[in-house]
Amino acid sequence: MDRTTSWNDEAARAIIEAGSRAATDFLGTDRVGATSLLPILHALQEKFGYVDRAAIPTIADVLNISKAEVHGTISFYHDFRSEPAGRHVLHLCRAESCQAMGSERLAAYLDDRHKLQPGVTSFDGTLTLENVYCVGNCALSPTALLDGVPVGRLDETMLDDLIAAARGDRP
Amino acid sequence: MSPIRIFVPGDSGAVSVGADRVAREILKQALVRDLDVVIVRNGSRGMYWLEPLVEVETPAGRIAYGPVRHVDVADLFDAEFLKGGEHALRLGPTNEISCLKNQQRLTFARVGVVNPRSVEDYCANGGFSGLLRALHLTPHEIVEEIVASGLRGRGGAGFPTGVKWRTVANAPGEQKYVVCNADEGDSGTFADRMLMEGDPFVIIEGMITAGLAVGATRGLIYIRSEYPHAVAAMRAAIEKARTAGFLGANVGMHFGQKAGAFDMEVRVGAGAYICGEETSLLESLEGKRGQVRAKPPLPAISGLFGKPTVINNVLSLAAAPWILARGGKAYAEYGMGRSRGTKPLQLAGNVKRPGLYEMAFGITLRELVMEIGGGTASGRPLRAVQAGGPLGAYFPERLLDTPLDYEAMAAAGGMLGHGGVVVFDDTVDMAAQARFAFEFCAIESCGKCTPCRIGSRRGAETIDKIVRGENRDANRALVEDLCATMTDGSLCALGGLTPMPVLSALKHFGDDFQRPLQMLASAE
């Protein structure tokens, strides 16, 4: 399920300029500084799957801030990737409510059985496992998201199915 | 004959247990049987153990069935569920289900009832009647109505909302802003998410009202990126509210009145827990690292872009329309002591009947967890309850008679916070939970204050030493000392309150810190 396209400086610049304009149009003032930075970074990651370092000078130029400020923001937030993830991303919730229902056991299972560790992409490039701290599905713990789709009341069998689906690129 | 309306929640929780598949199967079966149905993707009623909860609109009212799996659908059609027919999954009239009937749903009155994508449905169910009244009041009168309600910040800090609005209203400035904090990051909480997905217009109405009260013309709602369904629901609702004449150059347009301008848009967070802290959130909206600001100045005086800013939690803003429509006094009639109105409590973790319960302040933890929640899901003995999110205290069984209000929780050494309650059975290792509190703080610290940035790491290491049996007494004293430093030396609640789960675990569950190492390792 490769939704993203490979990095392209020109397309990136267009996204950055459009993001900056949208914020200024809405806030109707020229004193809004770098307010469009997060929307721009999300738009870049949506399009390319990550935020290439090549975007930093362009963003700095368009928003009239320093490259250090752009880098500072990108590096602060867990969401922004500096390189593409695997074709699928599995977010496993590791927060308290899911802990109370066995998420730590599931994390150990992913490691033992599927050789998946948080923050790492599998060797075949299929799947990236990420920790997440709460997705607001605490009443149906434990929870994971596969490519943003929530799965509640998770157990080992369901994890096997999700991973098989990801590996086979089935929906 | 008009088609029969079937409600299948589009709530992301219901979706996580198969609601989309159930909806598809219903359409398929209806087609095969040549029956005229229409599916409404409503919000969740909050009774998550019954999800996917399917409701059918019959002449006798809505009849609920649940939990419905896609394989049950053909069987339900055979049992004539479209006429409310008998079936093993039939729960009876939705409004008669005792868990729902015994709540006082003010903020959540429409969630699960209306179609969250329909502004007409919202208006037909009392929506925008608070705004209509506000349009006939002066800004000062709107503020005083909120003050009279006794409403306190539902995000967790409990600051009086009316006082905040009054401060912004009185602050000089051409440009002011309304910011809605929808960065609901506490584990065990999901009320903001449910409301955004199930009744997004009430938040819009609350923000317009705040705008009128303080003279702000622009609003931003900051939603965490972990909530894509809520982002989509809010964006769709804003678009519809604008088209219907509730947002834009004249917020009174829909009612044919002349009023001020107010417009709003959604901003999406980027996975930083700290951005739920209000000043960090403002920094994030300005495109910066989400580092907390020192206060003063208060955001009410110098907030977004240095302008006077109302920044409120989703539930605080969503309470405003009810208060305006019925009066602040009517709202204050609910609750106890200095905690007025209702609180949407969220019950999660290892509990039989997890979900959202909006109740007047005053019920105890025991009533919530044991009576309403039915005890642990595993059937094992309850060991601990964490109330108020990851920065809240762990309560042992004997403290469960504490009432869930701001003051009583604080008196018991905890906090109510955003109203999340997470239940643990006797398999929990409380030393591991204390270590996790430090670890979480280390991961999510913005880095501004040293006690939080460094102390959290040293804290986790010191817990490890205690568990390993290294100088247990001295290291325990060190953790307590470190916690005092974090409490006193941190600007915001992350560093300041991480000691709460740590110290409560040490105090009430000291035995767990004496266990051998391999037990901790297996729990991690």
- pLDDT (tens digit per residue) in B14-42: 999 999 999 999 999 999 999 999 999 99
pLDDT tens per residue, range B439-478: 999 999 999 999 999 999 999 999 999 999 999 999 999 9
Residue A29 has pLDDT above 70, yes or no: no
Q: Tell me the chain B residues in contact with residue A137 when contact means C-beta distances shorter than 8 Å.
A: 12-13, 16, 190
In this complex, the residue of A27, A29, A96 whose CB is nearest that of residue B386 is A96
| CATH match of B4-96 with 3.40.30.10 | yes
Residue B13 makes CB contacts below 8 A (sequence gap 6+) with: A136, A137, A139, A140, A150, A152, B44, B48, B51, B190, B194
Contact indicator for B237, B128 with CB cutoff of 8 Å: no
In this prediction, residue B516 carries a pLDDT of: 63
Alpha-carbon gap: B289 to the closest alpha carbon of chain A (Å):
5
Q: Tell me the chain B residues in contact with residue A67 when contact means C-beta distances shorter than 8 Å.
A: none
Q: What CATH class has B336-425?
A: alpha beta
In this prediction, residue B56 carries a pLDDT of: 98
- If you average pLDDT over residues B283-301, what whole number do you get? 97
Asked whether this chain's domains B336-425 and B430-517 adopt the same fold, the reply is no
Secondary structure E strands in B108-198: 177-182
Please, which residues 25-54 of chain B have a Cβ atom closer than 8 Å to chain A? 48-49, 51
Contact indicator for B503, B480 with CB cutoff of 8 Å: yes
Q: Cβ-count burial of B517 within 10 angstroms (0-12 exposed, 13-18 middle, 19+ buried)?
A: exposed
Q: How many CB pairs under 8 A join A and B?
A: 167
pLDDT band at B283 (very low <50, low <70, confident <90, very high): very high
d(CA A103, CA A88) in angstroms, rounded, equals 20
**What ipTM was estimated for this complex?**
0.96
Q: What is the CATH number of domain B119-333?
A: 3.40.50.11540
Is the CB of B287 less than 8 angstroms away from the CB of A95?
Answer: no
In this prediction, residue A32 carries a pLDDT of: 78
Average pLDDT, chain A: 93
Instruction: State residue B56 phi and psi, 5-degree precision.
Output: -115, 135
pLDDT tens per residue, range A106-116: 999 999 999 99
- If you average pLDDT over residues B5-9, what whole number do you get? 98
B394, closest residue in chain A (CA to CA): A96
Is the CB of B349 less than 8 angstroms away from the CB of A150?
Answer: no
Residue type, B339: S
Residue B13, chain A, CB below 8 Å: the answer is yes
A63, closest residue in chain B (CA to CA): B287
Alpha-carbon gap: B255 to the closest alpha carbon of chain A (Å):
24
Alpha-carbon gap: B2 to the closest alpha carbon of chain A (Å):
34
- Sorted by where each begins, the domain ranges of chain B are 4-96, 119-333, 336-425, 430-517
Is the CB of A97 less than 8 angstroms away from the CB of B187?
Answer: yes
Is the CB of B424 less than 8 angstroms away from the CB of A36?
Answer: no
Residue B10 has pLDDT above 60, yes or no: yes
Is the CB of A77 less than 8 angstroms away from the CB of B186?
Answer: no
pLDDT tens per residue, range B215-228: 999 999 999 999 99
**B191 membership: H or E segment, kind and range:** helix B191-198
Residue B59, chain A, CB below 8 Å: the answer is no
Q: Tell me the chain B residues in contact with residue A28 when contact means C-beta distances shorter than 8 Å.
A: 218
Q: Name the residue among B172, B165, B266 with its Cα closest to residue B225.
A: B266
Higher local confidence (pLDDT), A4 or B368? B368
A152, closest residue in chain B (CA to CA): B16
pLDDT tens per residue, range B115-151: 999 999 999 999 999 999 999 999 999 999 999 999 9
Q: Tell me the chain A residues in contact with residue B185 when contact means C-beta distances shorter than 8 Å.
A: 133-134
Task: Give the other-Cβ count within 10 Å of B128's Cβ.
Answer: 24
d(CA A138, CA B276) in angstroms, rounded, equals 18
Is the CB of B189 less than 8 angstroms away from the CB of A136?
Answer: yes
Residue A171 has pLDDT above 70, yes or no: no
Q: Tell me the chain A residues in contact with residue B184 when contact means C-beta distances shorter than 8 Å.
A: 136
d(CA B109, CA B111) in angstroms, rounded, equals 6
d(CA B41, CA B12) in angstroms, rounded, equals 11
Q: Tell me the chain B residues in contact with residue A69 when contact means C-beta distances shorter than 8 Å.
A: 288
- If you average pLDDT over residues B338-352, what whole number do you get? 95
Write down the residue that tokens 């009185």 correspond to. B170
| pTM of the model as a whole | 0.96
d(CA A78, CA A62) in angstroms, rounded, equals 24
Residue B324 has pLDDT above 90, yes or no: yes
Alpha-carbon gap: B428 to the closest alpha carbon of chain A (Å):
7
Is the CB of A96 less than 8 angstroms away from the CB of B305?
Answer: no
Reduced 3-state DSSP string for B226-257: CCHHHHHHHHHHHHHHHHCCCCECCCCHHHCC
User: How many angstroms separate the Cα of B113 from the Cα of each of B6, B65, B100, B208?
Assistant: 12, 15, 12, 23
Q: Cβ-count burial of A1 within 10 angstroms (0-12 exposed, 13-18 middle, 19+ buried)?
A: exposed
**B54 membership: H or E segment, kind and range:** strand B54-58
Contact indicator for B328, B149 with CB cutoff of 8 Å: yes
In this complex, the residue of A29, A37, A138 whose CB is nearest that of residue B349 is A138
Secondary structure E strands in A20-148: 88-93, 120-121, 127-132, 144-146
In this complex, the residue of A77, A98, A140 whose CB is nearest that of residue B272 is A77
Residue B287, chain A, CB below 8 Å: the answer is yes
Q: Strands A88-93, B177-182: parallel, antiparallel or unpaired by DSSP?
A: unpaired
Fold of domain B430-517: de novo design (two linked rop proteins) (1.20.1440)
